[in-house]
Amino acid sequence: MPETLEPQTPITVNGTPPARPSRRRSFGAVVIMVVYCLPLTGWLIRGNSLSAEVGRELVYWALALGLVTYVVIAERRPVSSIGLRRPTWKSLVIGSFGACLMVAGMAFIYLVIFPSLGLSSNEAGTVAVKALPFWFRVFLIVRAAVFEEMFFRGFMIERLTEITRGHRLGAAAISCVLFTALHLGYWGWAHLMIAGFGGVVLTALYLWRRDLAANMIAHLLTDAVGFLLA
């Protein structure tokens, strides 16, 4: 992957915001975002068996590959346009820092906020995931880190920023809200606090560094603590 990045802030001429991307490119990006927010895996593969779970994960990997293919072939842009670049030691350090921050914040939510609100920390979704084989949980958290960061942080924030002519914070807010809301179907209402907190940290991390590798590491390590070690 290219090591150079495109400018993080829109280039302006005499204070004038950059031109909007072409209508075709904007339309294509919006279609991708709408389609990828649909529960495609549940529609395509039904059931609660392990084979069904594996099938749904493979669909997510196909979607990730499709997203990269769209950027490179349809948009004719480098993957650096969605924050993908070769990871460095800084990616590991910053990703680890992000994971520590998320684990600490989520522990506070579970141990302090949930009890004060009378909510159970043993959510059905969490219990169900922990009951799955270890190898599959590893497969699951790696996929979540790669696909969710690539789509929600990389593609969505970058393309919405372009469509809105540089309103990066607004684009990030939309991405974060959608990321949080889409956890509701499987995880339930209580988990929205967990997903929301994680989404805010991951979004801030991407806005700060624009390094998807760091985001993926932070996401992966956080999920590993919750689903592999806890």
Taking only the tens place, the pLDDT of each residue in 20-55 is 667 888 999 999 999 999 999 999 999 989 999 999
Position 174 confidence tier, pLDDT thresholds 50, 70, 90: very high
- Say if CB 79 and CB 4 are below 8 A apart: no
Task: Answer yes or no: is pLDDT of 18 > 70.
Answer: no
Condensed to tens digits (0 to 9), the pLDDT of residues 126-156 reads 778 888 999 999 999 999 999 999 999 999 9
**Range scoring the smallest mean pLDDT among 8-17, 21-30, 194-203:** 8-17
Task: Answer yes or no: is pLDDT of 71 > 90.
Answer: yes
- Say if CB 98 and CB 201 are below 8 A apart: yes
Return mean pLDDT, the chain: 89
What is the distance between the alpha carbons of residues 175 and 179, in angstroms, rounded to a whole number?
Answer: 6
Q: What is the largest CA-CA distance in the chain?
A: 59
Domain boundaries, the chain: 89-229
- Say if CB 179 and CB 148 are below 8 A apart: yes
How is residue 178 annotated by DSSP? H
**Residue 133 C-beta-side C-alpha neighbours within 13 Å:** 8
Give pLDDT, residue 2: 44
% of the chain with per-residue pLDDT over 90: 77
- Say if CB 95 and CB 214 are below 8 A apart: yes
Position 9 confidence tier, pLDDT thresholds 50, 70, 90: very low
Q: Which two tokens stand for residue 227?
A: 């689903």
Task: Return the number of other C-beta atoms located less than 10 Å from residue 151's C-beta.
Answer: 23
As a residue count, the chain comes to 230
Give pLDDT, residue 187: 72
What is the distance between the alpha carbons of residues 64 and 68, in angstroms, rounded to a whole number?
Answer: 7
Task: Calculate the dihedral angle through the C-alpha atoms of 45, 49, 53, 56, rounding to the nearest 10 degrees.
Answer: -10
Global confidence as pTM = 0.88
Give pLDDT, residue 155: 98
